[in-house]
Amino acid sequence: MRTNPLFDLFGKVAVVTAGGHGLGREYCIAMAEFGADVVCNDINLTLAEETLDHLRPFGHRAIAIQGDVSKPEDVERLVREGLRRFGRIDVFFCNAGTSNRFVPPHELIYEDWSKVVAINLRGTFLCMKAVLPVMLKQKKGSIINTASVAGLPGGFAPDSSVYGATKAAIIGLTRHAAVAYAREGIRINAIAPGIHDTKPVGLGISQEKQEELKPLIQARIPMGRIGEPREIKALAVYLASDASSYVTGQVFVEDGGLLA
Ligand SMILES: NC(=O)c1ccc[n+]([C@@H]2O[C@H](COP(=O)([O-])OP(=O)(O)OC[C@H]3O[C@@H](n4cnc5c(N)ncnc54)[C@H](O)[C@@H]3O)[C@@H](O)[C@H]2O)c1
């Protein structure tokens, strides 16, 4: 079934990094639901393959590719393989991200700092660097980076300093790159999610601790609840499709009113 042509992704190819879980899986589902073929990357191949099971009902092509976004060779292979299988890349979600263990800055250890910078910031840069030449050739493309409310004023969390720093840097990278490629048919935007119930696997805090923190977090959110991962899908479709053809260099906050 074709959707409204404004949001139509038929014939397009979308790559999603860290598509095996959480928001990344929702991006993959959203792309397939609106007609795109999907390349689902994850460092964990089993999770990426599980995502493919969710895409089957939509009947489009989809492949899973294992890879670590902080490694140039893995990212280059992801783009190369996506192109080899599907011939083009129209949409690229730089979604992979992780957080430091929640501690104040003076307790942060160098290894945590390096890991978060490598996956969040270097990973985003490597993905953009690998896919931009493809989109330049096509004279068209949409890159969607992943920031966070933690990278924006008002979103400060005292124990997430390196996470917040990388997300603020991703916003800077998004804006600068958007201007650089605005005349080349390439749009670059960022989504800044608020708190979503993805049961994050990379946060370094236990499931019990997450449950304990839940009421405290909910109390801070004007809508009074944590977001469902699927609630981010419409924004993803908007930014991936021609519905947002005159939109670039922007950060879209989706947070139940948290920053308001
Ligand atoms: N969930 C939230 O509340 C929230 C809020 C703001 C921003 N974000 C951002 O959204 C993105 C997704 O978050 P999530 O909560 O859905 O994540 P998640 O913890 O649910 O899933 C993370 C996925 O990333 C994969 N992964 C980890 N390291 C990787 C690497 N180096 N290369 C490729 N894949 C890797 C994991 O295997 C897993 O499938 C992240 O950038 C995160 O910072 C999430």
Residue-wise pLDDT for 9-37, tens only, equals: 999 999 999 999 999 999 999 999 999 99
Return the exposure string of 61-85: e unless at least 16 CB atoms fall within 10 Å of the residue's CB, then b.
Answer: ebbbbbbbbbeeebbebbbebbbee
Distance of alpha carbon 220 from alpha carbon 53, whole angstroms: 36
pLDDT band at 159 (very low <50, low <70, confident <90, very high): confident
Supply the pLDDT for residue 205.
Answer: 63
Residue 201 has pLDDT above 70, yes or no: no
Distance of alpha carbon 133 from alpha carbon 89, whole angstroms: 10
Q: Which residues contact residue 80 at a Cβ distance below 8 angstroms, ignoring those fewer than 6 apart?
A: none
Residue-wise pLDDT for 92-129, tens only, equals: 999 999 998 889 999 999 999 999 999 999 999 999 99
Going by DSSP bridges, is the β-strand pair 91-94/13-16 parallel, antiparallel, or unpaired?
A: parallel
When the pLDDT of each residue in the chain is averaged and rounded to a whole number, the result is 94
Supply the pLDDT for residue 210.
Answer: 75
Q: What is the pTM of this model?
A: 0.96
Which residue is it, tokens 């929702």?
26
Residue 5 has pLDDT above 90, yes or no: no
Distance of alpha carbon 103 from alpha carbon 26, whole angstroms: 29
Q: What values do phi and psi take at 222, rounded to 5?
A: -50, -40
Whole-number percent of the chain with pLDDT over 70: 96
**In 3D, which of 162, 150, 18 has the Cα closest to residue 94?**
18
Distance of alpha carbon 172 from alpha carbon 5, whole angstroms: 32
Q: What is the DSSP string of 54-74?
A: HHGGG---EEEEE--TTSHHH
Q: Which of 41, 51, 148, 152 to mutate to test the pocket of ligand 1 (most atoms within 8 A of CB)?
A: 148
> Any idea of the CA torsion for 221, 223, 231, 83, to the nearest 10 degrees?
-30
Q: Looking at domain 5-254, which CATH architecture does it have?
A: 3-Layer(aba) Sandwich (3.40)
**Helix or strand run (H / E) with residue 28:** helix 22-33
| Structure-block tokens of residue 169 | 């840097």
Atom of ligand 1 nearest to the CA of 146: 41
Ligand 1, pocket residues at CB < 6 Å: 17-18, 20-24, 41-44, 47, 68-70, 95-98, 119, 146, 148, 193, 195-196, 198, 200-202
Residue 240 has pLDDT above 70, yes or no: yes
**In 3D, which of 246, 237, 231, 139 has the Cα closest to residue 184?**
139
- Residues 7 and 243 sit within 8 Å (Cβ to Cβ): yes
Domain boundaries, the chain: 5-254
Query: Which of the residues 163, 181, 238, 246 is marked catalytic?
Result: 163
